[in-house]
């Protein structure tokens, strides 16, 4: 499998989901929706449609715009209801059999499901199910949901699904489809986003509002933490079948994952990022001549920073968007120039200047190191790195691909050591309270945090059953597959 | 899906299986074995290997020689044990998810299985399993075996498998593999072939002896009807766990399916085919000048016929072996020349001659019609068609792709009508007793036939549960898939 | 060929060139250089290398990062000298045979050439060459150069090339390679850019400086208009073999084509674009609340505008960079949403605001119309469109893919009509003198313009032989090819 | 490029040509014609059509039935005239640019040509043409014809072509097409075949009559050695523009190349092969029990041998026709079993028998060695090898891919040594006079041989200019290409 080694130093959201009920050409609209959610997963995607008689599924590796937009593919997805999923493939891969949505023919009829998040006791539950004879055809935690539904003793479909989800820990925002309904659910903490929209008579479920915008759908509201909405021909119904908990939405969605033009949990992402920049300028400004973002993710915070600090905002680093997904660094002798495939400093802007460099986060630190070096080579006299989030010091188990804790720079170095490591004149991270302020909270409530901020604080809001017992963390299936 | 319309007028064996236990480069040997079994299924193939730690699977559409022989594919199949399967895709297809071997991670460990034959109560059993919560990931009858094993209450693996197979009707010659054993089983009637061989220290299971030949393995013996052999590091063990029944081997394997250089159930296929030709000459000789086979399948019978009749054997029809698998007939105006893509008569041989034309069977009759026309156009003064089997008047439910009964020419016409339809001067089929004589039986035992000859007689040796209740014959899954 | 209909409303540079002489792994470095020139042509690319004994060529459709970065491709391009070319395929295509570099085996040895620009008498010369027996294997104007060299009566290679180029009109910045030399030439007007760099002992030629940056090469200088540099093992030599003319560099390179981090003809592109924004604000400011660029090309001018006007710069439109190259709009019913595949307005930023919308140019006007509509739909109370160049009212014949004149909005409408057409509250273009000022010229010298600005003024600096006689404008070859 | 090492021990015809003039769907008919000529070249094929306005070309690697039969391919080849070519790629390959037909836009209009044979002074002429400025885009000798036509001073097209061909030595049967005519020519010796047929109003040119049969065209006659036929809307005209010579048709076409159902030069290939078998039996019969052909090429001679010798003809070796074109032998440890991929002896037929093994020729001897070993391993008590041609002791320079002379077994061993090398009990080749007798000649005329039999006698009927001067034998172009 081809690698993009210069890309393994960012965090990756693992999924985006989208569904539309009761609309001609449903799969074409799902395609558009997934295209606008492409930032949540670029490796593979799938769509399941239902034409009133039969389910249809397509799964492909690659970008939506290269795969699902072919006429022949869409023709194989007829019907007025469809759900889709876009995915960032984590290590191990597993090929197309791990690409969602998953589908099962239950004795009561077909059921398809697409899931954003991560179940933290999936392996444990899978082992139980295997002991009673269930056969898993993937290594995905999502398949566990299908089997729990299939083996539920409950009578009605919604009850089976509630039954199933009640067995699970972790994060899930999911969209499900049966012959007569579409269902959207968020876990009780509402860790991952899910929104409800409307396009004329059709209801839409999507990970973010930008996916409503692309099809011209109106935003109705966020699905609430712990809510299950059921969309049928008769309209929409809402339930709260799980034990009520305080919401803990993922704060990193604001920092990096969500698209800047999306509104999540009532807040506009671009505005929060600009406010993050302002907070950062207030907390830790350094004397400098220009504010330069690491594009593209650092741009809104840099604009906010520059406005607050009264410094010029300059595109001092140009990003090349043509990077292919399989850009192998051709030979050893030029391997070190990886970062240049994506970023080139503009010497005329930077030379002789004191530069505030704004980036969203530091993961392993290797990219920051290289970018700082580029900026210095381009003639910056000082480089002051400002990070639009607190130090990332703990892994995420809720659907984000993070390196193990020991690989996170912030887990093994102090800020001073990090500054030294990436060779900047000064380094500052946004404080956790500064981050909360940017979201319009007065500060982090230590007793009952308003968000999931485990990647910054190590304070995990759910049990982590699979990960607590080390021997259970091997992948479930012994099968390595390519077909 | 591309069609080869000039090919739908033959019967197709649906499968060949091959396994080798305890031999370096096991998958490479399976590749060779499947290559020699390619005549039993040309659409897709799969191999599962086990390297002492992990199972590996590869599934590909197309010929073995185009897919599995790439170094990169074989490198993904390490290990000293491997089983493989080659498959003729029946209508509906289902893509790679229906390509065997199937694999499941049972709570006791991995299990892979490859199956030749057809289970005639698979749908019925699948419905029961679904009601208890099993999820099927294919539309293949073979997956039922996996689920029955997974849900068996028996303790030991072999007992689980016996338990599972005891629930099934129909034909199965199968090869299974777990981390510590390879298992070969034939159904109690032994409808499909399965042979045991040895290559130095390694045991081999294969559908036909030609697959032993290609790897230089020695033939040990046929697996017996109802026998289960278990191959482990300690050697081989044999059981007969099912109720004892009289053997009913498929007689059509001799007529057409098996390779002429194979020995099945103790008989050499080429010799039987020559004897079939002799019987045919004895039963229904016509005055003629030359004996011409419809190549390639009619060749041995034509040699036998010519020797018996004392007439010259001539290659009066030349077969073009370069026919691609996707040869679409380019335009309507030339669609009728389909048969010429494969067969061309040699005018110089045929012109002015009375021709005995020998073919293995008549299915729909359309090909025969066209070939007779070709031979007449090439100047034959008389065409006497001789068929190396009795009239094919009933469908096979044991692993052969036959048109439904009403499409079989012999089910709706008398021999005279058929002669008229295909426009020959005379037409004769081998008698059922003649066919039995060719296999060295004195005649067909009406009370207890020595073979399964249901396609000629309609006398099915097993129940046909799924097919007896019409509403059950729709395909199990409502899912149409392409990924 | 798949179309991206929402993309046909921009101008496309047709080529980027890159060459390196005397450096291990030359082709890998050319790959990197072409990657950084990808904005000059995204449809196909080619590289020719010379290993001291033999030339090697690879040509592929698609992005560099998807094609040339495979190890297997680079292994087929050994040698220490290599040149490459990236190409925007114009209408008609012609498949890979039109992908440069072109190569010919001359009686004196091999010769490869890559060309940026367009020869305006190529068809006329080709006809002459055909009459004397030359056979063209492409429909590219570049092949004409090869044939003129091949048939030149001059003795030495450089003289043959001078001889050939002297016959041509139009724009050419080209990189050529023979077994013992690399040659860079710009046409006497220097319409297209070409720069010289150095990487340790190796010389580099490239369309833009950003391609030097990516491989860590130092910029030496621009190749001068009318200059031919010859790089051999002995070093570099410079000649000016053509009649001296005043330079007429393409001013649109500053407006749109060149990468913002490149320096061309001594000027930094990003800085000029910011100055263009400032000039625009000075010339035609409107009362408004925010300045919003049409991303990505409008960003630097919008920053300059906002700084000059003292208004907030806001990313009010978000661009989706995942647009596949083959994004077909799935069905008629949703075809109109094309522009949304790339651009989504951020309602929270725009709603209730008076917006200055900054874009680089207006071609057909269809995209502007749709973007204005998006911004209005997002709640802007006023939309004032400001264009960072004068009205584009004439076609380019020097290597840019422009619609024919009659399709250019500015050729058939006044500014007021255009404002009406795209439905803005006000529309202003930068004046031609404003544009010259942004490049640090005091104004346009009407008698002897400092740049080629034909697309704005219709003042073409060369003869247009092929285009002046209408009947000659059909493509040369009658052959439509796909192989 | 993948290799089939078990296939390099046969001789390969390099080309088949086909053209049809004045028939709807011409390209579809060319596709069928090439399919029936697939035995003359399996690596790649091309078709050029002319639709009255424009030429169209498609070139593809692989079998006709896998490439040209797609509807989309045929739709790109509209028009009522088309020519095609199928090709065996010789070493060095060169990719699709060497795939014929070749096309050139001459000043007088387009010209396409497809060529079977080999020009023995092509390199010499190419060098002359290059010196006057011609640029070659392939390494094929056929391109030389295009350039000679393009540079001919003659006025009319036919005269240009005559002019061109008069400059050439060697073998050529070619089909050419311009907007108003189709031309068929054979070299003065008529070394390669070319036949004329008619399908209603349309004329057809083809390498063999089997290609007429497949489209239902009537055979008119062989094009004569040195004849040029010109087909226009007005009908057909015949010329003999070259100096008259005695015909020297390639006798190996009868032995191996041509299809058995073709008639070439008035003789039926199958009949001659049977007569070859009879001659062989008369010349060198050995006591034996059965006659077994090496399939498929040895079959007709074995039938003839068996009839003459009064021995049973038996299919003692079964050929597997599913051998993929890229069958790589998977691992070193099993590499020696290569021949088994194609051939398996039928032990039951062979065991305990004295076997006459009939093959068409011995090239390197490695395959014979392996097949003899297989037959011995299957239990033959004696193996008598009979070869249906004289010893192949010299290379062909007229369009057949032969190993260099030193690799030919017969060039370095006596018959006794060969018998020893391949380990047979006896070995006999057909005598040269026996071969001539089989063609119905009384014997070989030593002074003026009736055929080209250079591969057996070393008596080359033309000059071999390129090959006589060793330094000229390197391939013309220094360019290695993959695009």
Out of C59, C110, C134, closest to residue D479 by CB? C110
Predicted confidence (pLDDT) per residue in A401-422, tens digit: 888 899 999 999 999 999 999 9
Query: Which tokens sit at B454?
Result: 């249901």
Of the pLDDT bands very low, low, confident and very high (cuts 50, 70, 90), residue C310 is very high
Do the beta carbons of residue D57 and residue D76 sit within 8 Å? no
Of the pLDDT bands very low, low, confident and very high (cuts 50, 70, 90), residue D139 is confident
- Scanning every residue of chain A, which has its alpha carbon at the shortest distance from the alpha carbon of C341? A214
Q: According to the annotation, is A455 in a ligand binding site?
A: yes
A326 touches chain C (CB under 8 A): yes
Find the mean pLDDT for residues A356-363: 97
Strands (E), B180-289: 181-186, 195-199, 202-206, 218-222, 228-232, 235-239, 249-250, 263-264, 267-268
How many angstroms away from the CA of A63 is the closest CA of chain C? Answer: 7
C32 touches chain D (CB under 8 A): no
**What pLDDT is recorded for position B338?**
67
**What pLDDT is recorded for position B94?**
55
Q: Do A261 and C314 touch (CB under 8 A)?
A: no
How many angstroms away from the CA of C47 is the closest CA of chain D? Answer: 10
Q: Enumerate the residues of chain C whose CB falls inside 8 A of the CB of residue A326.
A: 65-66, 69-70
Q: Enumerate the residues of chain D whose CB falls inside 8 A of the CB of residue B74.
A: 330-331
Predicted confidence (pLDDT) per residue in D209-249, tens digit: 999 999 999 999 999 999 999 999 999 999 999 999 999 99
Predicted confidence (pLDDT) per residue in A322-344, tens digit: 875 545 555 555 555 667 888 99
Find the mean pLDDT for residues B390-406: 92
Do the beta carbons of residue B150 and residue B104 sit within 8 Å? yes
Q: Do B313 and D312 touch (CB under 8 A)?
A: no
Return d(Cα B419, Cα B414) in angstroms, integer.
Answer: 9
Return d(Cα A305, Cα A287) in angstroms, integer.
Answer: 13
Return d(Cα C379, Cα D234) in angstroms, integer.
Answer: 73
**What pLDDT is recorded for position A228?**
98
Query: Which tokens sit at A429?
Result: 């991270």
**What pLDDT is recorded for position C471?**
46
A96 touches chain B (CB under 8 A): yes
DSSP helix/strand/coil, A249 = strand
Out of B46, B109, B135, closest to residue A146 by CB? B135
C341 touches chain D (CB under 8 A): no
Interacting residues of B242 by C-beta distance below 8 A, sequence separation 6+: B162, B165, B166, B187, B188, B226
DSSP helix/strand/coil, A11 = coil
Do the beta carbons of residue B393 and residue B408 sit within 8 Å? yes
Of the pLDDT bands very low, low, confident and very high (cuts 50, 70, 90), residue C262 is very high
- Our measurement of the distance from residue D48's CA atom to the centroid of its chain's CA atoms, rounded to an integer in Å, reads 21
Of the pLDDT bands very low, low, confident and very high (cuts 50, 70, 90), residue B3 is very low
**What pLDDT is recorded for position C469?**
65
Can you say whether the dihedral through the CA atoms of B370, B371, B375, B381 is positive or negative? Answer: negative
Note the pTM of the prediction, 2 decimals: 0.90
**What pLDDT is recorded for position C92?**
39
Return d(Cα A35, Cα A29) in angstroms, integer.
Answer: 10
Strands (E), B317-471: 317-319, 343-345, 354-359, 382-387, 400-401, 426-429, 451-452
Do the beta carbons of residue D164 and residue D221 sit within 8 Å? no
Q: According to the annotation, is A396 in a ligand binding site?
A: yes
Q: Output the DSSP codes for B145-173.
A: HHHHHHH---SSHHHHHHHHHHT--EEEE
pLDDT of residue B334 exceeding 60, the answer is no
Predicted confidence (pLDDT) per residue in B118-170, tens digit: 999 999 999 999 999 999 988 889 999 999 999 999 999 999 999 999 999 99
User: Among residues of chain A, what percentage have pLDDT more than 70?
Assistant: 90
- Scanning every residue of chain C, which has its alpha carbon at the shortest distance from the alpha carbon of D135? C104
**What pLDDT is recorded for position A4?**
37
Predicted confidence (pLDDT) per residue in C37-82, tens digit: 999 998 899 999 999 999 999 999 888 988 898 888 899 999 999 9
What's the burial of C408, exposed, middle or buried (CB within 10 Å: 0-12/13-18/19+)?
buried
For residue B153, whether the previous peptide bond is cis, meaning omega lies within 30 degrees of 0, is no
Return d(Cα D188, Cα D157) in angstroms, integer.
Answer: 20
Q: How many CB atoms lie within 10 A of CB D233?
A: 9
Alpha helices in D294-386 (DSSP H): 299-309, 347-350, 366-377
Cα–Cα distance list, A96 to A58, A93, A100, B139 (Å):
10, 8, 9, 18
B440 touches chain D (CB under 8 A): no
Return d(Cα D472, Cα A452) in angstroms, integer.
Answer: 77
How many angstroms away from the CA of A168 is the closest CA of chain B? Answer: 18
pLDDT of residue C93 exceeding 80, the answer is no
- Scanning every residue of chain A, which has its alpha carbon at the shortest distance from the alpha carbon of B152? A133
H or E element, residue C85: strand C81-87
Cα–Cα distance list, C10 to A239, A398, C6, C257 (Å):
50, 42, 9, 11
Interacting residues of B206 by C-beta distance below 8 A, sequence separation 6+: B16, B17, B18, B19, B33, B37, B194, B195, B197, B212
**What pLDDT is recorded for position A324?**
58
Do the beta carbons of residue D92 and residue D42 sit within 8 Å? no
Could you give the angle at the alpha carbon of C196 between the alpha carbons of C191 and C202, nearest 5°?
150
Query: Which tokens sit at D442?
Result: 């009384």
pLDDT of residue C210 exceeding 70, the answer is yes
Nearest to D226 by CA among D249, D243, D203, D206: D243
Nearest to B55 by CA among B35, B74, B25, B78: B78
DSSP helix/strand/coil, C441 = coil
The neighbouring-strand residues paired with B117 are B172
Backbone angles phi, psi at C450, to 5 degrees: -75, -20
Return d(Cα A410, Cα A414) in angstroms, integer.
Answer: 7
Alpha helices in B177-263 (DSSP H): 210-215, 252
Q: Do A322 and C42 touch (CB under 8 A)?
A: yes
Predicted confidence (pLDDT) per residue in B422-456, tens digit: 999 999 999 999 999 999 999 999 999 999 999 99
pLDDT of residue B476 exceeding 50, the answer is no
User: Among residues of chain D, what percentage have pLDDT more than 90?
Assistant: 80
Q: Do C103 and D54 touch (CB under 8 A)?
A: no
Q: Do D346 and B270 touch (CB under 8 A)?
A: yes
How many angstroms away from the CA of A404 is the closest CA of chain B? Answer: 24
**What pLDDT is recorded for position D469?**
65
Predicted confidence (pLDDT) per residue in D24-33, tens digit: 989 999 999 9
**What pLDDT is recorded for position C478?**
42
- Chains within contact range of chain B (3+ C-beta pairs < 8 Å): A, D
**What pLDDT is recorded for position C33?**
96
**What pLDDT is recorded for position A181?**
98
**What pLDDT is recorded for position B336?**
58
Do the beta carbons of residue D139 and residue D476 sit within 8 Å? yes
Q: According to the annotation, is A81 in a ligand binding site?
A: no
Predicted confidence (pLDDT) per residue in C137-176, tens digit: 888 899 999 999 999 999 999 999 999 999 999 999 999 9
Which one of the listed residues B9, B12, B15, B74 is annotated catalytic? Answer: B15
**What pLDDT is recorded for position D249?**
98
Predicted confidence (pLDDT) per residue in C284-298, tens digit: 989 999 999 999 999
Owner of token pair 């919008």: C302
How many angstroms away from the CA of D46 is the closest CA of chain C? Answer: 9
- Scanning every residue of chain D, which has its alpha carbon at the shortest distance from the alpha carbon of C52? D478
Q: According to the annotation, is B250 in a ligand binding site?
A: yes
Q: Enumerate the residues of chain B whose CB falls inside 8 A of the CB of residue A68.
A: none
User: Chain-wide mean pLDDT for chain B?
Assistant: 90
Do the beta carbons of residue D347 and residue D266 sit within 8 Å? no
Return d(Cα A372, Cα B451) in angstroms, integer.
Answer: 80
H or E element, residue A50: strand A44-50
Return d(Cα D192, Cα D187) in angstroms, integer.
Answer: 8
H or E element, residue C368: helix C366-377
Return d(Cα B395, Cα C129) in angstroms, integer.
Answer: 70
Q: Do A341 and C312 touch (CB under 8 A)?
A: no
Interacting residues of D71 by C-beta distance below 8 A, sequence separation 6+: B328, B330
pLDDT of residue B326 exceeding 60, the answer is no
Q: According to the annotation, is D210 in a ligand binding site?
A: no
Which one of the listed residues D12, D13, D15, D68 is annotated catalytic? Answer: D15
**What pLDDT is recorded for position C401?**
83
Return d(Cα A440, Cα A443) in angstroms, integer.
Answer: 8
Q: Characterize C184-211 residue by residue with b for buried, 16 or more Cβ atoms within 10 angstroms of its Cβ, and e for exposed.
A: bbbbbbbbbbbbbbebeebbbbbbbbbb
Query: Which tokens sit at C397?
Result: 């014949």
Does A15 participate in catalysis according to the annotation?
Answer: yes
User: Among residues of chain B, what percentage have pLDDT more than 90?
Assistant: 80
Cα–Cα distance list, B360 to B192, B208, B239, B387, D329 (Å):
19, 20, 37, 5, 34
The neighbouring-strand residues paired with A481 are B57
Q: Would you tell me which residues 250-309 of chain D have a C-beta closer than 8 angstroms to some C-beta of chain B? A: 259-261, 263, 268, 270-271, 296, 299-300, 303, 307
Show the domains of chain B with their CATH numbers. Answer: 5-248 (3.60.20.10), 268-320+339-444 (3.40.50.2020)
Which one of the listed residues A11, A15, A82, A388 is annotated catalytic? Answer: A15
C241 touches chain D (CB under 8 A): no
Of the pLDDT bands very low, low, confident and very high (cuts 50, 70, 90), residue A381 is very high
**What pLDDT is recorded for position D410?**
97
**What pLDDT is recorded for position A23?**
95
pLDDT of residue A431 exceeding 50, the answer is yes
Out of D106, D109, D479, closest to residue C105 by CB? D479
Q: Do C326 and A28 touch (CB under 8 A)?
A: no
Return d(Cα B20, Cα B83) in angstroms, integer.
Answer: 6
DSSP, res C305: H
User: Among residues of chain A, what percentage have pLDDT more than 90?
Assistant: 80
**What pLDDT is recorded for position C194?**
98
How many angstroms away from the CA of D43 is the closest CA of chain C? Answer: 15
- Scanning every residue of chain C, which has its alpha carbon at the shortest distance from the alpha carbon of A73? C330
Mutate to test the interface with B, among A135, A160, A478 (most CBs of B within 10 A): A135
3-state helix, strand, coil in chain D (%, to 5): 35, 25, 40
């Amino acid at each position: 499998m081809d690698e993009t080694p210069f890309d393994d130093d960012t965090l990756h959201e693992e999924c985006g989901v989208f569904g539309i009920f009761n609309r001609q050409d449903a799969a074409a609209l799902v395609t558009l929706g997934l295209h606008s959610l492409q930032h949540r997963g670029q490796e593979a995607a799938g769509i399941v449609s239902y034409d009133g008689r039969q389910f249809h599924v397509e799964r492909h590796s690659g970008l939506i715009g290269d795969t699902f937009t072919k006429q022949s593919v869409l023709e194989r997805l007829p019907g007025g209801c469809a759900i889709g999923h876009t995915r960032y493939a984590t290590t191990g891969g597993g090929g197309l059999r791990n690409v969602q949505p998953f589908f099962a023919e239950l004795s009561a009829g077909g059921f398809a499901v697409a899931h954003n998040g991560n179940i933290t006791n999936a392996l444990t539950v899978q082992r139980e199910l295997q002991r009673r004879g269930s056969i898993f055809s993937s290594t995905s935690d999502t398949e566990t949901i299908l089997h729990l539904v299939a083996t539920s003793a409950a009578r009605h479909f919604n009850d089976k699904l509630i039954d199933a989800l009640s067995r699970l820990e972790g994060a899930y925002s999911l969209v499900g489809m049966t012959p007569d309904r579409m269902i959207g659910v968020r876990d009780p903490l509402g860790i991952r986003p899910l929104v409800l929209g409307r396009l004329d008579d059709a209801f839409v479920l999507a990970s973010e509002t930008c996916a409503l915008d692309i099809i011209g759908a109106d935003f109705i509201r966020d699905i609430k933490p712990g809510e299950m909405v059921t969309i049928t021909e008769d309209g929409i119904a809402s339930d709260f079948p799980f034990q009520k908990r305080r919401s803990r939405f993922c704060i990193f969605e604001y920092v990096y994952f969500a698209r800047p033009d999306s509104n999540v949990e009532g807040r506009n992402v671009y505005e929060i990022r600009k406010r993050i920049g302002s907070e950062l300028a207030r907390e830790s400004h350094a004397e400098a001549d220009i504010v330069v973002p690491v594009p593209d993710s650092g741009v809104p915070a840099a604009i906010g920073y520059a406005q607050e600090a009264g410094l010029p905002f300059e595109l001092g680093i140009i990003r090349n968007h043509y990077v292919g997904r399989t850009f192998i660094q051709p030979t050893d002798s030029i391997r070190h120039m990886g970062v240049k495939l994506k970023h080139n400093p503009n010497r005329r802007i930077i030379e002789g200047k004191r530069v505030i460099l704004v980036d969203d986060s530091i993961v392993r630190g290797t990219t920051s190191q290289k970018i700082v070096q580029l900026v210095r080579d381009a003639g910056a006299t000082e480089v002051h790195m400002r990070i639009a989030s607190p130090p990332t010091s703990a892994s995420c188990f809720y659907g984000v691909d993070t390196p193990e804790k020991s690989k996170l720079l912030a887990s093994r170095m102090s800020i001073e050591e990090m500054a030294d490591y990436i060779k900047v004149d000064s380094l500052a991270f946004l404080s956790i309270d500064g981050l909360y302020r940017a979201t319009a909270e007065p500060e982090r409530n230590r007793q009952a945090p308003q968000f999931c901020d485990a990647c910054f604080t190590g304070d995990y809001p759910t049990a982590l059953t699979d990960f607590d017992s080390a021997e259970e963390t091997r992948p479930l299936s012994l099968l390595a597959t390519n077909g």
